[in-house]
Amino acid sequence: MPITKVNENELLDRLTDVFRTYGYEGASLSKISEVTGLQRASLYHRFPGGKEDMAKAVLERAGQWLTGQVLAPLSEPGKPADRIRHMAKELHSFYAGGKHCCLLDSLSFGSDDSDIRQHVQQGMSEWVDKLAKVVREAGVSSKNARQHAQDAISHIQGTLVVARVMKDYGPFERMLSELPTTLLRKKS
């Protein structure tokens, strides 16, 4: 078979970049074609389902990344606070120090019942659940654990919004450094 012009991983990297930056509607096929170096028709060869397939693939891979790289350190041996510090480090590189915004934000606009929206919701839902589980294992009560997980993710999303709008990455950095404390606080 002929060689691919762009390999799967790099293709998804660039797609991620476009969807992150411009959102779903803003990510036109022209822009995608320009960024990936593939013509529209070639993109349809790679993603028969078109733009929606691309967005789903991007979300899928981001979810795997999150699970494997960010959430995994939480399940390894060591003191809970150390494990969370490890996660913070992974989050830092995942979001490029706040310079990359979150797909769960950029892809969550538009009509309520869109297919993409459901994927986004499921992604965030899994994130909350997995994070809450670990916090619970660290000795926080079940109810508080879920709240802390939600609050942490809220804070991540919020600092990323501020970073995007203001180009100020301070709040994101600060939030990461305070994660061990805020996430494991016994009483809210």
Query: Which residues contact a second copy by CB under 8 A?
Result: 21-26, 102, 104-106, 108-111, 120-121, 124-125, 128, 147, 150-151, 153-159, 161-162, 164-168, 170-171, 174-175, 178, 188
Calculate the dihedral angle through the C-alpha atoms of 140, 93, 107, 40, rounding to the nearest 10 degrees: -150
Those residues whose C-beta lies under 8 Å from the C-beta of residue 59, and which sit 6 or more positions away, are 103, 107, 116, 119, 120, 123
42 binds DNA (CB under 7 A): yes
Q: How far is residue 17 CA from its own chain's centroid?
A: 12
Cα angle 36, 120, 114; round to 5 = 90
Name which of 7 and 118 has its Cβ closer to a second copy.
Answer: 118
40 binds DNA (CB under 7 A): yes
Shortest distance in whole angstroms from residue 95 CB to a second copy: 13
Name which of 35 and 161 has its Cβ closer to DNA.
Answer: 35
Candidates 15, 27, 62, 131; binder of DNA (CB under 7 A) is: 27
From the list DNA, a second copy, none, partner contacted by residue 72 (C-beta under 5 to 8 A by kind)? none
User: What are the φ and ψ backbone dihedral angles of 187, each rounded to 5 degrees?
Assistant: -115, 145
